[in-house]
Every structure is written in structure tokens, then in C-alpha cells.
Amino acid sequence: MNHFNYTDGVLCAEDVPLPDIAAAVGTPFYCYSTATLKRHYEAFAEAMDGLETLICFSAKANGNLAVLRTLGNMGAGCDVVSGGELGRALAAGIPASKIVFSGVGKKADELRLAVESGIGQINIESEPELERLNEIALSLGKTAPVAFRVNPDVHAKTHDKITTGRKEDKFGVAWNDAPRLYATADRLDGIDVRGAAVHIGSQITDLDPFEAAFTKVASLVEDLRASGIEIQTIDLGGGLGVPYRRDNDPPPSPAAYGEVVKRTVGGLGCTIMFEPGRVIAANAGVLVSEVVYVKRGETKTFVIIDAAMNDLLRPSMYDAYHHIRPVMEPRPETDLQTYDLVGPICETGDRFAQETLLPPATEGDLVAIMSAGAYGAVMSSNYNARPLIPEVLVDGGEYAIVRKRPPVEELWALESMPEWLESSTDN
């Protein structure tokens, strides 16, 4: 469900026509719907009714401060994977006690920041990380609350680049090493063993991998308790898929996912933690772009828009599908035409859709690339010296620019010329 619909022939974000935003901020831009963010968070929370839970929205999916604050005001915590994301979560007003820090390569300064900030949980992903964290905590006179992210060797049946729970993947500690590592951690004075964590991937559309992974974690928790290690939290990660394609069977609902959670770990008496990102944010955002040219080739017709792969990387990186909608609603009798929708970057992979059906396109038309609220703006770059694009948050009939478009000069503002080149400008 989302709140991007046609009203009087114009695509609107809630009650705001997208052309009004385009006229104010220029194109391309991201637009997020508050109502959709809230509805998706509520649907996920309702699916866990009866469990003691902490839902930590994944900042890597969408780290905009206004988005984090919107969800934080509803009670969400935050899952972070870097010191920068930790700083973002705190700046957005997320209580430190509701922040969980994941990731395989946390540096010493990031771990120190986490301990000093008093965050709720640090998910350990290797023995060296455990040793380093213990040293840091002791140097600060504190104890660090931890869980081990265990690798259950479960294939998530999703894209290879976003599958994270197989034994050959870089994430988590090996399943067979977990009992020994928990015993080691339990003896360290700077470590407070709190929980067990698992995360098997992203955009998962089959509940069976979740059930297999969660069942293994439940067994681990029981074994750890039997050995005298009291586990208080279980972090099940995120990964529930969303419907990018309108013509496919929909992925499992949060309610169906919740039944798997209750069936596998619901009886352990733990606080169940989650790290949803995509399922909350993806369909809450669109990327709006303007047609620059319509180029007719020998075999294809290209619609060239002003958004590019540096703005939305998913199609290029993952061959991901995003539904494209014209901002001006076509008449029912309009004959659709076949186009490739591409951007201006000097890469063949700068392409959003191949052989997609759209109304006849002309220069100046606006198009909306749907389901762009997750892994969109956060993965953008300045490739081809293109400034980052604005982000806009809509709430009912109001909207606000929550990240402005920087001047192009900022792209080189932090660069400097070495002394031996300072005098070479006359050559």
C-alpha cells in the first residue's frame, strides 16, 4: 500500500501534486510519504502483537533524518552499520537504548562511540571484534551489551548480492563456533552478553528460509541457557520483501511473517528485535524525473530523463525492476508505446527500464520511478560530477525539503591543490 495516486489526472503524494514539488525544487528529486511510512510501520508492529518487541528501522535503507524522526516518534529504534549511521540516529532523536549496531568491520573509534553513547546492543560478528570491544569497554570503565550475529547457513532464495546467511558469506560467526564464543564472552569483564542475532538477507519473498533460520536460533538459545548463559534478546534482523512488480504474486505479508516469528521464537520469553528497512520505506518513496529527450534509434526508442544511476543505483547494480508511472495520468484510450528509459550518465548500465510501456513521451514530461524509498538516496553518489538530489517529505497537504540540492561547487570544496601545481595555471 502507498499514498501515491492520481487526483484529477495528476499523480499526487498524499494531497500534494508532484508537479508542484517539481516546480519548487527542480528535478530529479525523491519524495517520501509520511502516511505510507506510518502505515507500514503500524502493519509490521501489529503483526507482532502479543510479543515483547523492539522494532529498529534499518538506517541503511533510508537514513534521512526526517524519515528517522518520523519513525522514532512512533516508537521505532534504529539499526545502524557504521559510526556515521549511529550519529544520524542520535541526531534524529532516536534514544541510544533503542539503537543496535551491526556490521562486520566496526572500527575502534566506532565501537568506542557506541559504548560511550550507551546504545542498546552491539551485534558481534567475529572473535577479533569481541576482543577489541572488550578492551575498549574496559578502558572506558563500562560494559558493552552484546549479541552474537550467528550465521545459520540458510539460503534466503534472493539475489546473490543481498543473501547474507550462508556459511560462505562474510556475515556473522560460524554456527559451530557460536557456543565457544558465547562462553568466552561470558568470561570477559567488559562484555555483557544479552542476546543472539541473525540476518539472512534482503528482499526475501519466501517464508521458509526465515522459519529455518529462526528455528536454529531458538535451538541455540535453549542450548545457551542450559549452559548457564541467560539470553534476554533475540534479534531476527530484517529482509521481508516488497512488491516491486505489480504483475507478480505479492510477497508474504507482515502478518504471515509474524506467525513464523511467534511459532519459532515466540515462546522463549525474550525481547524480540527486528531490523526492517525496505518493507517500511520502499513503497513510501518515489523518484521524480523529467524527460530531457526522446531519441529514436534503429531498433529502440529511448526516453532520456534527468535522473541517473548515481541517483538510483538499484537497476544498474541488481538488475532491479521499478515500475514507472507518468505523472500526468494518460487517458484510457491512449495507445502505449515501447521505450527504454535511460539516464544521462556515460554508462550503458545507466538504465531504469527496458521495453517498458508508456504513453507517448515528449520533452518536459514528468515520470515517477516507484518503490524508490529504500536503497535509493542512501546509495546515491556524485558520479559524473552530479550533485546529490533533493529529498522531500510530504505529510497530508504539506511538504518540506528535508535535504536540499547542494551547489555544484560543493563537489570540490573539500579538495585542494598541492603546492607544485599552484603555479601551473598559466600553462
Q: How far, in Å, CA of 150 to CA of 199, rounded?
A: 8
Residues 356 and 262 in one domain: no
Domain membership flag for residue 340: yes
- Continuous H helices in 13-152: 18-25, 34-47, 65-72, 83-91, 108-117, 127-140
State the burial class of residue 317 (Cβ atoms within 10 Å of its Cβ: 0-12, 13-18, 19+): middle
Number of structural domains in the chain: 2
Report yes or no: 38 and 58 within 8 Å, Cβ to Cβ: no
Domain membership flag for residue 388: yes
Domain membership flag for residue 192: yes
Please compute, for residue 416, the number of CA atoms within 13 A of its CA located in the half-sphere on the CB side.
Answer: 3
Q: Count the neighbouring beta carbons within 10 Å of the beta carbon of residue 285.
A: 29
Domain membership flag for residue 24: yes
pTM of the model: 0.93
Residues 134 and 265 in one domain: yes
Domain that holds residue 315: 4-31+282-412
Residues 140 and 159 in one domain: yes
Residues 397 and 263 in one domain: no
Residues 168 and 304 in one domain: no
Q: What is the pLDDT of residue 171?
A: 61
Q: What CATH number is given to the structural domain containing 260?
A: 3.20.20.10
Q: What is the pLDDT of residue 200?
A: 81
pLDDT tens per residue, range 255-302: 999 999 999 999 999 999 999 999 999 999 999 999 999 999 889 999
Q: What is the pLDDT of residue 206?
A: 83
Residues 374 and 259 in one domain: no
Domain membership flag for residue 235: yes
Q: How far, in Å, CA of 246 to CA of 249, rounded?
A: 8
Q: Which residues are catalytic?
A: 346
Domain membership flag for residue 303: yes
Q: What is the pLDDT of residue 252?
A: 86
Q: What CATH number is given to the structural domain containing 312?
A: 2.40.37.10
| Angle at CA of residue 403, ends 326 and 81, nearest 5° | 105
Please compute, for residue 149, the number of CA atoms within 13 A of its CA located in the half-sphere on the CB side.
Answer: 31
Residues 196 and 157 in one domain: yes
Residues 269 and 286 in one domain: no
Residues 16 and 154 in one domain: no
Residues 200 and 115 in one domain: yes
Q: How far, in Å, CA of 230 to CA of 268, rounded?
A: 11
Q: Which parts of the chain register pLDDT below 50?
A: 156-157, 159, 161-162, 164-167
Indicate the SS3 state at residue 254.
helix
Of the residues 274, 290, 312, the one at which a domain ends: 274
* Residue from 246, 163, 156, 278 nearest 206 by CA: 156
Residues 216 and 123 in one domain: yes
- Continuous H helices in 49-177: 65-72, 83-91, 108-117, 127-140
Residues 181 and 201 in one domain: yes
Q: What is the pLDDT of residue 166?
A: 43
Domain membership flag for residue 70: no
Of the residues 208, 239, 274, the one at which a domain ends: 274
Domain membership flag for residue 94: no
Of the residues 274, 302, 329, the one at which a domain ends: 274
Q: How far, in Å, CA of 271 to CA of 323, rounded?
A: 37
Q: What is the pLDDT of residue 161?
A: 45
